[in-house]
Amino acid sequence: MGRSWQNMNHCTRAGGRTPATLALLLSVVSCVAELAWHVEGVTIVGFYSATCPKAETIIQQEVQSRFNSDPTISAALLRMFFHDCFVQGCDASILIDPTPGNTPEKQSGPNLTLRGFDLIDAIKSKLEAECPGIVSCADIIAIATRDAVALVGGPSYEVKTGRFDGKRSRSSDANILPSPDSDVDQASSAFASQGLSLDDLVVLLGAHTTGFARCGFFSDRLYDFQGTGQPDPTMNPALVSRLKGVCPDPASGNSSDPTVFLDQGTRDAFDSSFYSQLQKHNGILRIDQVLQDDSRTSPLVSRFTETDAFFPAFISSITTLGALNLKTAETGEIRLDCRRVNPTTPNPPAIPPSPAQAPASGAPPPRKPSSPPPSRPTTTAPAQPPGSGSPPVKPHKSPSSPPPRRFPRLPLPLPLPPLPLPLPPFRRLSPPANPFNPFP
């Protein structure tokens, strides 16, 4: 619940600097609404508009900077986002590093070739400097992916934010990811297990319009398809011949593993060319080509050869993907370091009593009172000598280290401050003290 309190403090401090109470009112309402959505694990567009208004700009600038030197980062971020959300939901569990006794998702077979972790680290570092403990790593991946898609010519779309980061990452969890060799039955079953439709399957595989794959993921289609000793008959023979000049036969003992563009048309652009290539049987991965060869999915392939059909469908499907299995304040956290779960913070030790409160040397310990102590006094009582029967003085706790608090549910309607502006029918009143600051 750490970020909820930090968000509340940020909101009340921002409102306190506003000269007009109307602005204060709007700021408080915005922040309270933001926190209410966040605690329940629901995302909204513009979640950080009050607590970290520069967040999306910082992410966009970092992605742009990396793209300028490495345009393939767009495909890398798209793949990272899919692999993260498909396993345990969009919770940045894909970023967690191994620890003694735990092998995380990033070390599973399907994820060994993922890239872009260092970019997420760089973005997180900038955001922690701007607004510590506010922006989740899961939201960083989601926003960075959106920006990466736009940089290669894809559609720009709004990203709902407010995700929590997960606290678990297991290599075995990634076994549900569909294999590059999957047929439509296998792939659609995997997608359905995550609440994704057949349309989502065809649309999200369309992200292969940008990026590349290593020969090891499809070389069997060139040399020994399903143990026949022959190429995959569904692959264009001209493409087979061309790829054999790039990818060595695994049986030859040549261990080199070059890369090949997944879209043999426009390659570096995010467009509908991928589907046109499938119609020509130029799909590189089997999971891609079967979309054209299966009667359930081939009509969708035909439809998405038109950019006007593909882009809106892509926005819809990637938004659905980004909402899978969201964590709540109880099941997630805001990682301070995207590569590791936050350490558990013990309660701060109590400050020992002052010498005036401590019993004299050799004096017997104070006796327990015969009746419960009275409620908090309004005046300071004189100090009692040791052994007089007065209750022991409780040690003072540091105001700078408040005990952990659970985020309370705010009652509705909210106790909103009155408006002072001369806008009828409102009356001019003095602004009250801010009632929302949990740490006065």
Residues of the binding site for heme b: 208
Going 94 to 98 to 102 to 108, the CA torsion angle's sign is: positive
Active-site residue 396, yes or no?
no
The pairing of strands 212-214 and 259-261 is antiparallel
DSSP 303-321: HTTSHHHHHHHHHHHHHHH
Tokens of 389: 């029967």
Dist. CA 418–CA 428, nearest whole Å: 8
Question: What residue numbers does the annotated binding site for substrate cover?
Answer: 178
Check: CB of residue 246 under 8 Å from CB of residue 258. yes
Residue 299's CB is within 10 A of a number of other CB atoms, namely 10
d(CA 9, CA 436): 8
CB-CB contact of 92 with 169 (8 Å) = no
Do the Cβ atoms of 29 and 416 come closer than 8 Å? Answer: yes
- Contact predicate 206/310, CB 8 Å: yes
Q: Catalytic residue among 10, 83, 281, 396, which?
A: 83
Tokens of 398: 């540091």
Q: How far apart are CA 182 and CA 110, in angstroms?
A: 13
CB 178 within 8 A of CB 87: no
Q: Is the dihedral of CA 431, 432, 437, 440 positive or negative?
A: positive
Question: Which residues fall in the annotated binding site?
Answer: 84, 87, 89, 91, 93, 105, 178, 208-209, 263, 266, 271
Ramachandran angles phi, psi of 305, nearest 5°: -70, -15
Which two tokens mark 330? 């109880």
Beta strands 44-45 and 259-261, pairing class: unpaired
| Token pair listed for 115 | 């890239």
d(CA 389, CA 62): 66
Q: For residue 340, give the 3-state DSSP assignment.
A: strand
Q: Which long-range contacts (CB under 8 A, 24 or more apart) does 253-260 make?
A: 257/214, 257/215, 257/216, 258/214, 258/215, 259/212, 259/213, 259/214, 259/215, 260/212, 260/213, 260/214, 260/215, 260/218, 260/284
Query: What spatial distance separates the first Cα and last Cα of the chain, rounded to whole Å?
Result: 19
- Annotated binding residues for Ca(2+), as ranges? 84, 87, 89, 91, 93, 105, 209, 263, 266, 271
The amino acid present at 60, given as its one-letter code, is Q
Catalytic residues: 83
